[in-house]
Amino acid sequence: MLETATAALPDAGEVAQQAARRRVVAVISHPDAGKSTLTEALLLHARAIGRAGATHGKAGRKATVSDWMSMEQQRGISISSAAVQFEHDGVVVNLVDTPGHADFSEDTYRVLAAVDSVIMLVDAAKGLEAQTMKLFDVCRRRKLPVITMINKWDRPGLDALALMDEIETRTGLVPTPLTWPVGIAGDFAGLVERRTGELAQFTRTAGGATIAEEHLVAPSEAEALVGSRWGTAQDEIGLLEGHDQELFLAAATTPVLFGAAVLNIGIGRLLDVIVEHAPAAEARRDTAGEPRPVDEPFSGFVFKVQSGMNAAHRDRIAFIRVCSGLFERGMTLTHQPTGRPFATKYAHQFFGRERETVDLAWPGDVVGLVNANALRPGDTLYLDRHVEFPPIPRFAPEHFQVVNARDTSKHKQFHKGLSQLDREGVIQLLTSQLRGPQQPILGAVGQMQYEVVADRMTHEFNCPVSLEPLAHTVAQRTVPAAQDVLGSESNVEVATGSDGTTIALFPNTWRLATVRRNHPDLELAGLGVAED
């Protein structure tokens, strides 16, 4: 029988109380909309950091808390999700910053399986961009409540009412602004606080490194201060619906706020909205659709695996969303996919790449389990009563490249590194029937994933690699018995995935259709989840 926690289990009331204090939130947007800057601004307002690391423009930007990988710091983009935890007004917020670049959509997809609500960040000058809509569609399928933040209102941009129309038309959510700009984008005098009717004005600080001082003006004095812009703002906001908490939680409306993350304007109000309106950690449904109450014995699932966060230790971290019960460091859990015991001797909570040992965690918390080599994204862990949460499907790869070690004497590092990246979900590792294990094929959703592979193989595993693109763009799952038939077809390559799946690669859908027509009895099915 598996060991249980060393201390007495808390009563159900304490677990429910702690879960009610938790908010698990992801930030989604198109690249360069300001996600990492927003994450840091929220930390600044929550007093979790004393000074922000962002300045005007990417060229002068220091590394933000959540962008810790060298490639992220060099390029000024997020390519890996990062988790930070902080407390504000008695509420514990687990905030997950996600990659914005489309090539890393799969990582964001995993994060969205672990959170209870999202902040949709919209660039005031660009509106709802393609990647934002792709990620929103995932939120819609998961019925996640969405808080919308219109960012960069300190710069010229679109008309505020036009943005509201776009949100409603393209997402189907009714926008319910909680703040409203007084003046146009790039030249505004402050924000109307809808709940009080007051005008909030801000004193900017150099580079937004510290919190912008906020000054509230009574409605009776606002018009004398900002002129006709006050009346225009009142008329505009009067045309829009007010906030309804039930409709928001039902993912029918989206509260909207305006601000400028890089200058820390409007961020304090967003933080209040997360605390007041974002849903608390609640029962999560298992694969059978049954909810696992938060006061049940411990359960959680892996939504991300990451190595290389600490160059000194070269350890591997599995990020776990606690779904029910109390997590206690040292407890022995059951790894659902294998049924084997899993010890939790080394457990951390993270602040970007910084970490500290965590002894206890509650439903809604994110815990990093160290050296969790047996865990993959989507795995369930539990204590006592069996549970299995829905797996996280992988995206169907659309790009394929052959990888070779530049130094053939480093075959151990070569295979260890690729296996590690496959288990993390960075790429999909395939062994070709034609090329053998010394020339694996890497499947990816986007081309930039190969840059991550090359960078990490060089710096983490000390094994530089070369990559050669293949002409294939379509992957199909098949059966081992079909290998000989498919292998005889021109421009078709057969490979085996790391999970034992037999996969056929085709140059395009036309070639796939031809093979299906020639061999109607062949078993061919789509691989993973299509990104769109």
Domain check: are 304 and 211 in the same one? no
Instruction: Tell me: pLDDT of 5 over 80.
Output: no
Residues 151-206: tens digit of each pLDDT: 999 999 999 999 999 999 999 999 999 999 999 999 889 999 999 999 999 987 77
Percent of the chain past pLDDT 70, that is, above it, reads 87
Q: What is the pLDDT of residue 106?
A: 74
Mean pLDDT of 355-366: 90
Residues 303 and 265 in one domain: no
* Residue 97 assigned as binding residue: yes
Specify whether 372 is located in the same domain as 427. Answer: no
| Same-domain status, 126 and 63 | yes
Per-residue CA distances from 116 to 95, 137, 140, 394 (Å): 11, 15, 12, 21
Q: Is residue 364 situated within a structural domain?
A: yes
CB–CB of 474/508 below 8 Å? Answer: yes
Please check whether residues 154 and 265 belong to one and the same domain. yes
Residue in this structure with the two tokens 């995935």, named with its chain if needed: 497
The last residue of one of the domains, among 382, 414, 448, is 382
Residue 13 placed within a domain: no
Please check if 386 is assigned to a binding site. Answer: no
Check whether 45 is labelled as a binding-site residue: no
Residue 391 falls within a domain, yes or no? no
- As a whole number, the mean pLDDT across the chain is 86
Which CATH number goes with the domain that contains 463?
Answer: 3.30.70.3280
Task: Indicate the residue among 382, 408, 431 that finishes a domain.
Answer: 382
Among candidate residues 8, 20, 4, 2, the one with its CA nearest the CA of residue 362:
20
The reply to whether 260 and 288 lie within a common domain is: no
15 in a structural domain: no
CA nearest neighbour of 18 among 450, 339, 371, 363: 363
Residue 395 has what pLDDT?
A: 74
Cα separation, 354 vs 436, whole angstroms: 40
The answer on 432 and 339 residing in a single domain is no
Do 119 and 270 meet the contact criterion of CB atoms below 8 Å apart?
Answer: yes
Percent of residues, the chain, with pLDDT higher than 90: 59
Same domain, 218 and 330: no
Q: Of 277, 312, 338, which marks where a domain is finished?
A: 277
User: What pLDDT score was predicted for residue 355?
Assistant: 74
- The reply to whether 103 and 249 lie within a common domain is yes
Is 270 within a domain? Answer: yes
Question: Same domain, yes or no, for 255 and 136?
Answer: yes
User: Does 5 map to a domain?
Assistant: no
- Same domain, residue pair 61 and 187: yes
Do the Cβ atoms of 375 and 508 come closer than 8 Å?
Answer: no
* CB-based contact 208:263 (threshold 8 Å): yes
55: domain CATH number is 3.40.50.300
Q: Is the overall model pTM greater than 0.95, yes or no?
A: no
Q: Is residue 207 part of a domain?
A: yes
pLDDT of residue 308: 63
In total, how many domains does the chain have? Answer: 3
Average pLDDT over residues 321-345: 94
- Assess if residue 12 is contained within a domain: no
pLDDT for 258-285, tens place per residue?
Answer: 999 999 899 999 999 999 999 999 999 9
Measured CA to CA, the distance from residue 288 to residue 477 in angstroms comes to 25
Q: Which domain holds residue 87?
A: 22-277
472 has binding-site annotation: no
Q: In which region does residue 131 sit, left (phi positive, over 0), alpha (psi from -120 to 50) or beta (all else)?
A: alpha
Same domain assignment for residues 292 and 271? no
What CATH number should be reported for the domain holding residue 296? Answer: 2.40.30.10
Is pLDDT of 30 > 90? no
99 assigned ligand-binding residue: yes
* Bridge partners of residue 286, in order along the sequence: none
